Amino acid sequence: MGGTAKAQRVNMRYTILGRTGLRVSVMGLGASTKFASLKGNNLPQAEGVLSKALEHGINLIDTAAIYNDSEAILGELLKNKERESYVLNSKYFPVTDAGQPIPVSDVRMSIERSLSLLKTDYLDILQIHGVRPESYRAIIDQHLDTLRQLKTEGKFRFLGITETIKFDPHHRMMKMALEDDLFDTAMIAYNLLSPDPETHILPRCLKQKVGVIAMTAARPTLSVNSRLEALIAKAKQEGRIAPDALPDSKPLNWLLDDSTPTVAAVGYSYVLAEPAVHTVLSGTTNPSHLIENIQSALAYPLSEEKRQRLQSIFRTPPHHEPWSTYDL
């Protein structure tokens, strides 16, 4: 999807992650299930992504108890690095298959297992993972005291929460969480195809000094042209996008320039330009993509004109439901 990256070196930028006071790189590494699949013979690839990330100044690493072997792989690869040199986020999954909060003994067990796999005594940020709006209140009621206790014991430094990208396109859970103001960080599903958080969620995060970690900036739809073309065709067909809003072929290639050769890379720079976003995760498993993403996110000045054009096309139009970033 585009030309070739200029072989330029960009110095990583750092920022303070809201009220946590943590100094984090503006791009973080998302080590989710795709990363976790890089085990066995593919372990050198995981090592390659992680070492490129660290070499280029990324100091924020995101994982979760339910990302298969991600924590175990990271634990092995990070074991000789100075613990203070990186900021480590993990998550526990708060509900059973039936959607009920897990017992507090399981909350503790999950966190202790994460620490053991990651070969560390503490997490910088513990996040409650993928919380659905309908479960939010019960989770808080049943888990908060235990989480506070675990924090007092030094198992983690800051508490965060993450959205479910599949079941909450209105970001209803995050609105509740911001209302309660219990969380130091918020992981938000946000990308140029789904910019709605800009109008209600992100300004509130900024006001409350919540550390914002953006996820889903590229997703398969921004990284695979055939998927993007199919999405745009469907959106036109359903009247969500005007027929002449974008070309049918390579619909977002007008965003590319010399320093940003792919639409996926533009995705990261778009998200990072939003003032409330402190850091954007890249979930790539390809070291070259990672470098391209870092370069683009840091170097590409997406003009206000292009940004506004994207917003006018992709903000949810009246009488339409927001599309879930899960499908993007």
| Residue 46 beta carbon to ligand NAP: minimum distance, rounded to whole angstroms | 11
The least CB distance from residue 114 to ligand NAP, in Å, is 14
**SS3 call for 130:** strand
Nearer Cβ to ligand NAP (135/285): 285
For residue 313, how far is the Cα from the chain centroid? 23
Report the first-to-last Cα separation within the chain, whole angstroms. 16
- Complex with ligand NAP: residue 18 or 287, whichever CB lies closer: 287
Question: Rounded to an integer, what is the distance from CA 34 to the centroid of its chain?
Answer: 14
Report d(CA 180, CA 183) in Å as an integer.
8
> Is residue 28 helix, strand or coil?
strand
CA distance 114 to 141: 23
Burial of 22 (0-12, 13-18, 19+ CB in 10 A): buried
Shortest distance, position 63 Cβ to ligand NAP, whole Å: 7
Q: Rule CB under 6 A: which residues touch ligand NAP?
A: 30, 32, 34, 62, 129-130, 162-165, 187, 215-220, 223, 262, 264-265, 281-286, 289, 292-293
Q: What is the DSSP letter of 61?
A: E
Nearer residue to ligand NAP within complex by CB, 20 or 284:
284
**How buried is 260 (Cβ within 10 angstroms: 0-12 exposed, 13-18 middle, 19+ buried)?**
buried
Given a contact cutoff of 8 angstroms between Cβ atoms, the answer to whether 183 and 177 are in contact is yes
| Residue 62 or 274 having the CB closest to ligand NAP | 62
Task: Give the angle subtended at the CA of 17 by the CAs of 13 and 18, to the nearest 5°.
Answer: 135
CB closer to ligand NAP, 20 vs 162: 162
